[in-house]
Structure 1
Amino acid sequence: MRKQHRFSVGMVGVAVLVLGAQWTTAVTVAHAAGVDEEARTEAAVMAVDQHWMDAELDGDRAWLDAMLLPEYRSVGADGTVHAKAAILAHAAKNRGNDAERRKVEAWLKAHPSDQSVVIRGDTAILTFYDPKLGPHNGVRSSDTFVYQDGHWHALYSQHSAVKGS
């Protein structure tokens, strides 16, 4: 949902959260299995992304501030750009309020997604897609991570409007 959640400033949190939540099941399983978020693996990238969604929904600005690189940008399907500061501000509004979490959960239920991760060197791209359309025709969003100082950090997110999604 981070997915089509990152469309407008008001929807920044929902989009970021929704896309982030799209991989919730896989990442929840990964967390339960004790996935190390600092590992240079696909499972770690998905775990960090799930942590990202949880941090936004819970208002954990400190974790988000450390994970998002200073240059982080999220580009919505309409071309609107949201910088790191907007993501942090949205997360602050979620602290102690589960309204956003309910929106994200509803979006995820209505828009099931699959995900894939590609890692090359210190860069990982996590892609969320409509399982009915597949990873070549139904991409909803992608997050680019960079591995620095022993941690995965988000650098860039791009969202799209998938027909039928």
Structure 2
Amino acid sequence: MTVRRTTLIGSFAAALLACSSMSAHTQDTGIAATDETQHTAAAILAVDQHWSIAEMTGDGAWLADMLMPDYRTVSNDGSAHDKQALLAGMAKHKPVTRAEATLKLAAYEKEHHIGSSVTIHGDMAVVSFYDTALGMLKGVTSADVFVYQDGHWHALYSQHTSVHS
């Protein structure tokens, strides 16, 4: 998953910010070099990874542009938060460098056995993140819904859940 997704305010990266012992996804995966404007699963995963890194590095401008105006995220406790809440929550954390964020993301994904799947239907896409030990049908931890608009993928909705093994 690129990273995010068991968070208080919405994206997995917010959880990463709170966990200083994590390290993450290195850019040798090829995701970082992917053209995020393409209408492909690889581009959506690259945008999602960029999202996590933007939250950790404090890149609020990119994040504000990528999130739809009516973006919503639902935490695993059932509480909903809007775009402004996500941006405000991100702003409360001390930003790290892109290199540090990339390492934290990769470490988190490895430590938590995070897998991802992408489903595209027209100009809508769903990225599901799951515990690889439980699989895609029993271990889903979060999902992000994207809309392809004006040549870019934009997040519309995120849902997070607690997984019980």
> TM-score scaled by structure 2?
0.80
Aligned length: 156
In 1, distance between residues paired with 2:147 and 2:17?
Answer: 18
Name stretches of at least 5 consecutive residues in structure 2 with no aligned partner.
Answer: none
> Larger RCO: Structure 1 or Structure 2 (Cα < 8 Å, ≥ 6 residues apart)?
2
Q: Would the aligned equivalents of 1:12 and 1:87 in 2 still touch at CA under 8 Å?
A: no
1:58 is aligned to 57
Letter in 2 for 1:2: R
Match of 2:66 in 1: 67
Q: Could you tell me which residue of structure 2 aligns to residue 3 of structure 1?
A: 5
> Which residue is 2:131 aligned to?
130
1:154 aligns with 2:133: no
Cα 1:28–1:52 change in 2 (3 A) is: farther
State the Cα distance separating 1:118 from its structure 2 match. Answer: 0.4
Cα deviation for residue 4 of structure 1 reads 1.3
Task: Assess if the C-alpha contact under 8 Å between 1:3 and 1:16 holds in 2.
Answer: no
Task: Give the 3 Å change call, closer, same or farther, for CA 54–91 of structure 1 in structure 2.
Answer: same
Higher helix residue share: 1
Which amino acid counterpart does residue 88 of structure 2 have in structure 1? A
RMSD: 3.1
Q: What is the CA-CA distance between 1:31 and the residue it aligns to? A: 3.5
Partners of 2:113 and 2:133 within 8 A in 1: no
Please say if 1:45 is aligned against 2:47: no
Structure 1: gaps (5+ residues):
none
Alignment map for 1:60-139 (pairs within 5 Å): 60-97=59-96, 107-139=108-140
CA–CA distance in 2 between the matches of 1:111 and 1:161? 13
**TM-score, normalization by structure 1:** 0.80
Contact 2:25-2:105 at 8 Å conserved across structures = no
